[in-house]
Chain A
Amino acid sequence: MLKMESVHKVFNYGKVNENHALNGIDLELKDGDFVTIIGSNGAGKSTVLNLVAGTYLPDYGKITINGIDVSNWPSHKRAPFVGRVFQDPLMGTAAEMTIEENLSLAYKRGQKRGLKLGISKNRRDEFRELLSWLDLGLEDRLDDQVKLLSGGQRQALTLLMATLGKPEILLLDEHTAALDPKTAEQIIELTRRIVEKNRLTVLMVTHNMKLALEMGNRTIMMDKGKIILDLQGKEREEMTINDLVRKFSEKSGQELTDDRVLLAKD
């Protein structure tokens, strides 16, 4: 369903600070795959997601979604296929607009937007139902501006919006990293439910090794713009966090020195 073939991305090409952020990425996801991505800072994890979303275009290589070559499609053109949640809860919603308006914007994902009223009374019940499914009491606050919500509530709303309008791929970039541990746990739980409900194909970046092994069916490890480890099936099931840290040193020839990873070991 999603395929990346020898994808390269170079930032500041030809300048002194030239940075080969992705150095030949080959990755193929099947329908319904849930892939967690780990790796040290600057390994290129976010860049992979940015390339799938179309925020950046590859400098070399090919990206296909459902067999369609989307390598040079800008992000708005890929919206019908790709939903996205960022690390920063402020990034995924329009703060000045109401919850209902935000949901309505997401509802029209990838469709033509014309001169019909953007909010329809018929959809209100549907939205209310979706919000009550989140179980955060947002169903009674459709007319509240999103800026009045807490970070966790905003992230939950973003998750909902990222999966409205039937995208097939969901991109999660450390989407719980800015939340307190308890809220993060809630959002993770919500993520599981929403992915299952919509049968999505997922790419999730995390610094939490435990989560990386627990969630989904496949884990890839990145270093210096390359995929250095691709775990699935039995090998993945038997993997412990310590094995994973050891694997990292083995494959990359260096210690895993990411504070956040080490802290998140338990």
Chain B
Amino acid sequence: MWFLNPGFYIKTLEEGIAFALLALGVYLTFRILDFADLTVEGSFPLGAAVVAKLIVAGYNPFLATIIAFIAGAIAGMITGIINTKLKIAGLLAGILTMTSLYSINLRIMGRSLIPLFRERKIFDAFEWLFGSNYVVLLTLILIVLIIKILLDYFLHTELGMALRATGDNPVMIETLGVNTDLIKILGLALANGLVALSGALMAQYYSSANAQMGMGMIVVGLASVIIGEVFVRTSKIPFATFGVILGSVIYRFAIAISLRLGFDATDLKIVTAALVILALGAPSLRKFMIQDEFAERLLEEGEYNA
């Protein structure tokens, strides 16, 4: 049975951890900056494309991964500039960058798929440290842990606090001397850097980069953030970011188990979307429910009074 096989858990955990960086990126824009950023759908495969191209060209996979982060950050900056300087709505700005990235990613790759089976990957660089059995899992955990700690720290710096305030109350932080345009650009750069990093790790993990691999990533990220919030209910940053990582892992397990139970892989996207709709719509749905309940109670009380 698949659920007795430790390999199932390790593989799913690995995926969850690698996708956690995507979720952290989405958390940064969606929750901290209050910006629904669709650039993600393009910056995720951008990270994969850049890393694959560079690795095949013989670059050190570590360096290639860092360059993928930078490429994602530039994509985020472009969305930020379109939004703040050209005053195009955030959602549309993201869509425009995402669409452009589709062409760019194909240009970078030169074809729609680059296999990496024979190439050196970032995991190979850690074998001296972790041995060869769990090197992939441990490398991913190490990278995500370092990034989580750096992100937690950053969000408590003067600049990071200005970023949080920009998402919370831009008018107020502007009156305190912060150029919110620049802060938004910075936040989008950081977030998409993380997303591209996630894509770069995924490409190395699956040993292939695929121009289509960004499809639905925004919803995956959102689902992870939301699931995380169910388990970790606090706005304290270190806990919240831990919740996001946890959410990503739980989401991967939900998906993996659904697949094993015979769900069709092609149906999982709509299941994920439904989950996000439910979670984000819950406050409104609850209001209807309370209204119904209240109406019922009034009716009952009416009967008693009569």
Contact = CB atoms under 8 A, between A and B. Distances in A.
A96 B235 contact: yes
B158 interface: yes
Interface string B29-73: 000000000000000000000000000000000000000000000
A104 interface: yes
Contacts of A116: 157-158
B158 A79 contact: no
A118 B156 contact: yes
A104 B158 CA distance: 8
Contacts of B216: none
Interface stretch (B18-26, B104-112, B159-167, B245-253): B159-167
Interface in B178-199: 178-180
Interface string A6-26: 000000000000000000000
Contact of A75 (B161, B168, B175): B175
B178 to A, nearest CB: 6
Contact of B156 (A80, A86, A117): A117
B177 interface: yes
Interface string A149-176: 0000000000001100100000000000
Contacts of A118: 156-158, 160-161
Chain B: number of interface residues, binned into ranges: 20 to 34
A94 B165 contact: yes
Interface of B: 154, 156-162, 164-165, 168-169, 171-180, 235
A111 B177 contact: yes
A97 B168 contact: yes
Contact of A114 (B158, B164, B172, B174): B158
A27 interface: no
Across the A-B interface, give the 10 residue pairs with the lowest CB-CB distance, nearest first.
A79-B177, A110-B177, A113-B158, A94-B168, A118-B161, A118-B158, A94-B165, A94-B169, A115-B157, A76-B179
A75 B175 CA distance: 6
Interface of A: 53, 74-77, 79-80, 82-84, 86, 90-97, 101, 104-106, 108-111, 113-119, 145, 161-162, 165
Please indicate which of the listed interface residues A83, A92, A96 has the most CB atoms of chain B within 10 Å of its own CB. A96
B162 A113 contact: yes
27 contacts: A53-B175, A75-B175, A76-B174, A76-B175, A76-B177, A76-B179, A79-B178, A94-B168, A94-B173, A95-B169, A96-B235, A97-B165, A101-B161, A104-B158, A105-B161, A105-B165, A111-B177, A113-B157, A113-B162, A114-B158, A114-B159, A115-B154, A116-B158, A118-B156, A118-B157, A118-B158, A119-B161
A108 B156 contact: no
Given A94-B165, A94-B168, A118-B160, 7 more contacts: A76-B175, A76-B180, A96-B168, A106-B176, A113-B159, A117-B156, A161-B176
B156 A119 contact: yes
Given A115-B159, A118-B156, A110 B164 contact: no
A94 B174 contact: no
A113 B158 CA distance: 5
A164 to B, nearest CB: 9
Given A91-B171, A97-B161, A145 B177 contact: no
B158 A82 contact: no
Contacts of A91: 169, 171-172
Contacts of A93: 169, 172
B168 to A, nearest CB: 4
Nearest to B155: A118
A206 B172 CA distance: 21
Contacts of B156: 117-119
A162 B157 CA distance: 21
Contact of B177 (A80, A115, A162): A80
Contacts of A86: 171
A80 to B, nearest CB: 6
A115 B158 CA distance: 6
B155 to A, nearest CB: 9
B178 A76 contact: yes
B161 to A, nearest CB: 4
B168 A117 contact: no
Contact of A79 (B164, B169, B175): B175
Nearest to B161: A118
Nearest to A113: B158
